[in-house]
A = this chain, B = another copy of it.
Amino acid sequence: MNSKFFDLAKEKQDRMINAALKIFAKNGYKGASTDEIVKEAGISKGLLFHYFVSKLGVYTFIFDYSTKYMTLELTTSVDKEESDFFEIYKQIESAKMHALKNYPYMQEFLYSTVYEDVSEALLAIEDKKTALTEVYGDLYSRMNTEVFGAEVDTEKLRKMIDLTMKGLMEEHFREGSFQPEMLFKEEADYLDMMRSLTMKV
């Protein structure tokens, strides 16, 4: 990409980023058309290619931007002293909700990359995918798991919670009217139920 992009007015940068996030999140790499992105962003075709060289360049950039932005949110919003398993989960979800204030389609876009199938697109984001995973890994490692009863397999518990959080967000997006607060409340209910089920008697 062309780094002069960052010299543009922040508002214009975000318009372009949000347009790309939305179109890629909704249609996947192949289904997204540069015409749609350009229209949504209110800029010309030439400009998009001027800054990002190719469709793949746009995709790579917004993935990079999203992971960095989300990493920042997670590292600043999650209390470094906290060690409670479910409390950390709640703070993670809260951080995501916060990110959605500026970039409503960012999380949805990040989830969509999991199902991405176009190999060139996958290849281009591979490395940065790992980086975000590591951030989550660090947060997970801070979680205290000693409170759980013997029948709890921590890895399985985590995977179930991750899949559930993701599933709930996707459901909310699919149903159209996405409201961060309502989603957060529903997520918290699931976490609370799991807390009560897993506590040592």
Q: How many copies of this chain does the complex contain?
A: 4
Contact mask A150-181 → B, CB, 8 Å, 1/0? 01110011011011101110100000000000
Closest to A198 in B: B197
Instruction: For the complex, count residues of A whose C-beta is within 8 A of B.
Output: 31
| A160 / chain B contacts, CB cutoff of 8 Å | 160, 163-164, 190
Within 8 A of B (CB), among A90-104: none
State whether the Cβ of A123 lies closer than 8 Å to any Cβ in chain B.
no
Q: Return A97 CB to nearest CB of chain B, in Å.
A: 19
State whether the Cβ of A6 lies closer than 8 Å to any Cβ in chain B.
no
27 pairs of residues in contact across A and B, judged by CB atoms under 8 Å: A27-B30, A27-B117, A27-B118, A29-B31, A30-B31, A31-B31, A31-B118, A112-B115, A115-B115, A115-B170, A151-B193, A152-B197, A153-B193, A156-B189, A159-B168, A160-B163, A160-B164, A160-B190, A162-B167, A163-B163, A163-B164, A163-B167, A166-B167, A167-B167, A197-B197, A197-B198, A201-B201
Binding site for B on A (CB under 8 A): 26-31, 112, 115, 117-118, 151-153, 156-157, 159-160, 162-164, 166-168, 170, 189-190, 193, 196-198, 201
